[in-house]
Amino acid sequence: MDYLTLEYNGDVAIVGLNRPQKRNAISDAFVEELNDVITEVEGRSKAAVIHGHGPHFCAGLDLAEHVKKTPFEGVHGSRRWHEVFGRIQRGKLPWFAAMHGAVVGGGLELASSVHVRVADRTAFFALPEGQRGIFVGGGASVRTARLMGVSRMTDLMLTGRSIDADTAERWNVVNYVVDAGQALAKAIDLARHAATNAPISTYAVIHALPRINDMATDDGLFVESFIASFTATSPEAEERLNAFLNKRAGKVARPDE
């Protein structure tokens, strides 16, 4: 592979953005390779982690390549990002991002498509599209706006400023902030845990929660009842419920355990 690395840690696939000399800037070929890797890891693992090699997570869109595009090529390019990132957000696996350094533009869009985000204290987040004369095109106006809220995203896009990891956590962009160099280990740890969930529950979390979040209250509650019943009547649920009742399964741990 030219742009990515792939390794496995048990049931967890570890996907590395690997174009450090260009700060992991995402070109068209990079997106296609990511698409292929998603297919590969969906067939072989139960959870996936994405991280960046080199000094940064990802500098976003490959600006050199973008300079040359026609308007229609730009639309197709953006739609392809949506398609491929959509396979992360609403695919078969729970995805975790481990971030450090720049998480910028399309890098933040990629991070916004995973399910759980871990940042180390070197991470910083920005949407500099306004300064580049472009607009977000990898899903940020939907995904990133829903994480941080439209008002904060408008601020980031108008001012081009960066926010640090603690602010990103306050803004709901990252779920965990860890010491420098610890993000990948933390993300793998979380992914390994998620890989032990019942697959049907994980699938329901990934697919039902964002859809129900888009629904009206009454519709959401109605759909929830069907998903709850569908998962709870699976053979795996029966086995897992009995395992707890027969003291074969672990208790819920306190936060400090």
137: contact with ligand 1HE by CB under 6 A = yes
- Structure tokens belonging to residue 20: 């450090």
Neighbours of 134 (CB within 10 A): 14
Catalytic member of 7, 42, 73, 109: 109
102: contact with ligand 1HE by CB under 6 A = yes
Beta bridge partners of 16: 5, 51
- Structure tokens belonging to residue 18: 């690997």
Neighbours of 205 (CB within 10 A): 16
Q: Is 42 a catalytic residue?
A: no
DSSP-derived secondary structure letter, 197: S
120: contact with ligand 1HE by CB under 6 A = no
Is residue 173 a contact partner of residue 140, using CB atoms and an 8 Å limit? no
146: contact with ligand 1HE by CB under 6 A = no
Q: What is the largest CA-CA distance in the chain?
A: 64
52: contact with ligand 1HE by CB under 6 A = no
Q: Which is nearer to ligand 1HE, 125 or 203 (CB)?
A: 125
Report, in Å, the least distance between residue 92 CB and ligand 1HE.
24
The number of C-alpha atoms within 13 Å of 200 and in the hemisphere containing its C-beta is 13
Q: Which is nearer to ligand 1HE, 60 or 91 (CB)?
A: 60
Q: Which is nearer to ligand 1HE, 80 or 207 (CB)?
A: 80
Q: Is 238 a catalytic residue?
A: no
152: contact with ligand 1HE by CB under 6 A = no
Catalytic machinery residues: 109, 129
